[in-house]
Amino acid sequence: MDASVAAVMGAAIGALGGLGGGWLALLGQGRQQQKQRETERERWRDELRRDAYSACIASTNQLSAAWWKFADRVRKEGSSE
């Protein structure tokens, strides 16, 4: 094998190796971005749930306070239980 054939084969092998490495890096980066999007979506969903639960608890507390006030008014007016 003369030097020119060896140089061409070496360049071809190097190019294929570079393309293969680039392809693997691209796949890894795509998976990482997908995982990050899923994580952010889960965080967003959990935050919405937390806000909804907090609003539900707050409204339940307000309703309970209103019922207690109503019960006190009814009791003060002379009604029996």
* pLDDT given at position 1: 64
- From first to last of the 81 residues of the chain, give the pLDDT tens digit: 677 888 888 888 888 888 888 888 988 998 999 999 999 999 999 999 999 999 999 999 999 999 999 988 888 766 565
- Which pLDDT does position 55 carry in this prediction? 97
Tell me the pTM. Answer: 0.55
DSSP state of 2: -
Structure tokens at 18: 């570079």
State how far the Cα of 71 lies from the Cα of 81, in Å rounded to an integer. 9
Structure tokens at 25: 């890096």
Residue 10, both tokens: 């070496």
Could you give the count of Cα atoms lying within 13 Å of 59 in the half-sphere of its Cβ?
6
